[in-house]
Structure 1
Amino acid sequence: MGRNLDIEERIFNYEISSEAKKLAEKYGYSDYIVERYLKLLDNEAIDLLEANEIPMPQTIRCNDFLIRCDELEKRLVNKGFKIKKIPFLPHGYEIISSPYKVGATHEYLMGYYYLQDPGSMLVVYLMNPKKNSFIIDMASAPGGKSSQILQLTKDNVKLVSVELKKDRIKSLRSNLQRMGFSSYIILEIDARKLSLKDADMILLDSPSSGEGIIRKDPKRKKSRPRSDMKKIHMLQFQLLNKAIDMIKPEGEITYAACSTAIEEGEYVIDKILRRNEVDILNTYSPIGEHAFIEFNGVKFDDRIKNCIRLWPHKHGTEGFFICRLKKNQN
C-alpha cells in the first residue's frame, strides 16, 4: 500500500522546479504541465512550447464512401481552395488556403469530407477496423472516428456509437447521416454502464484534459487545475476496464487520449496490464515514437514501449497517446 501511495505521489504530485515556473509564466501555462514537459523531454521542452504557439492547420478527411478523393480535390481546387495531401494519411488533406469557411461548402454539406485533425485520423487507421465485425466506439461525439470506422469498412459493420451528453448526440447523428452511413446505432449512456458483450473491436478515444490540442485551443494551457488530473485518470481507467469486460477473447481495444500527460497514457495502461487479461499489440505507425516506460523514478511495464506518442514539435500533429490492446484467451 505504501509503495502504491509513493507511486501516486510521483505521478500526480511531483515538485515544480524554478525553471518550470519561469517557463510557465513566459508561455502562459500551468506550471505542473511545463514541469512534466521538462521531465519527459529535457532540452526538447522548449521546442514543444514553441511548437504549441503555432496554430494547427485545418485538415480534412475525404469520404471516399461517397466520392473519389481525386474528384473531391478537383472540386475544391476549382472553388479556389489550395490543398495538400498528407502523406501518412490515406484520405487526409491539409487546407493551405481557402476562399471561405471549410465547413460551408456544398461538398461538406453533401458529406464528401469531414473536418478532422491528423492525429485523430491516425488513431482509426492504426485501429484498422474490419468489415463484418461488431465494434463499439465508447466516446463517439461529434462523430469523427465513428464516421471513419464506417468509411474504412464501407458501411459494412455493426457499430455502436456511445455518447453520454444529449446535446452532443445531435452533432453525432447529423455527421453520420450527412456522410451517408447507416450501419450504426447510437446509445445515450455513460459508457461505464454499458452491458454489451463480445465485441470484436472497441475504440476508446477517451475523455481527456485536452493538453494535446493546445495549438488549436490555447486555453488548454491553464484550463485544468492540477487536482483534475487524478479524476481524469480514474475516469479513463474505469472506461478501459469496462472495455476489457466487453471485448471478446482475442478481440482488440484501441485506447487513445489527446494528451501529452503520462497520467492519461502510460500510467493508465500500466495499471490495466496488472489485470493480466490483455497484452499490448506491437503497432506500426508511419509517424510517432515509442511511449515512455519511466517517469519521475516510476518504472512502467516494458511492454508500454509498443504504445505510440505523437508530439506537435516532432510530428506536426496534436499531442496524442495511442495504444492497441488484445484480450487474452480465458
Structure 2
Amino acid sequence: MDVAALSILRELGERGSVTAVARATHRSPSAISQQLKTLQRQLGAELVRRVGRGVELTDAGRALAASSVRIDTAIAEAETTWRAFQGGLSGRVEVALFASAAELLVPGLLDRMAAYPDVELHLVDLDVGQEEFAPRTADHDLVVGHRSDEVTSAQSAGLVVVPLLREPLDVALPLDHRLAALPTVTVADVIGEPWVGVPEGYPLDRVLRTMSLQSDVRAEVVHRTVHLPLIENLVATGHGVALLPRTSSSQRAPGRFLLKPLSDMRAGRRIEALLRPERAARGVVRLALDALVAEAGAPR
C-alpha cells in the first residue's frame, strides 16, 4: 500500500473534502483524487463515498485511516531515533495557544526552549470555542486549549491529551460593589447582576450557564469579548461583573477590581496540550511539550 495515500485517507476523513485536504497538504485536488482512486483500484474496495457536497469514508476507509495513525506514528518514532543517533534533534515546532494561556506560559516556554538552539519554535494565536481546539491539531504540532471542568477531554477523539494546569474561576467585581466586603460570594449573590462574558461555547461561558441552571436564573450578558483585559477594564469601570481565571487576572486586579471565589460551586477551567499521536512521537515536539509541562508546574 502507498503510505502517503493512507495518510490522505485519514485527512479526508477528518476534513471532509478533497479541497480541504489539498489545501492542508499543499497539493492539487486532482492529485489527491488520483491517489485515492489508485488506492481503491489496488484494494478493489470503495473507501470514499460522496455525501452532498462533501465526502465521507466507508467502513473500509475508516479502518485503513485508523491504521494510518499507527503507521505515521511509527515513522515519526523511527525518524526521531535516527536524528538522535546522528547527534541531536533539530527542526520546527508550531505551537498554537489562546491568549491568556500564552500570557501565562509563553515567556517561560521561550526561556526553557533557549537550551535547544536547533529547534525553531513558532507560536500561533488560536482563540476558539472549546470544542474547536481538538480539530485544530490537524494543522498545528501542538495545540494548547482549555475546557470547563465538566467537559470530557479530547482523548476520546484519538488525541494525546496532556494536562497542564487547572485555573479556578472567580467572580470579578468593581471595587465599590455592594458585595465588596465579603470574602466569598454565592451563585445566588451574583447571578442577577449584569455580566461581561466571553462568546458562547467558550469555557467561561459554559460555567456561567451552569450557574444559571443551578440558580434557575438566566444570566444577563451585556457585553461579550474574547479579550480578558477588556473584560477586566469593563468590570473595573462598573459595567458589570464577570467570571475570570484567578491566576491570569490576579496580577492586574489590585486597586482596579476584586476577585471573589464562589463558595457554593467549584468553578474552574482546565488548560491542556492536545496533539496527534504521530506528532507526539516527534522528538522536537516532545521537547516543546516537556517544556510546556514544566512551565505550567512552575510556582506563580
For normalisation by structure 2, the TM-score amounts to: 0.26
Which has the greater radius of gyration? 2
For normalisation by structure 1, the TM-score amounts to: 0.24
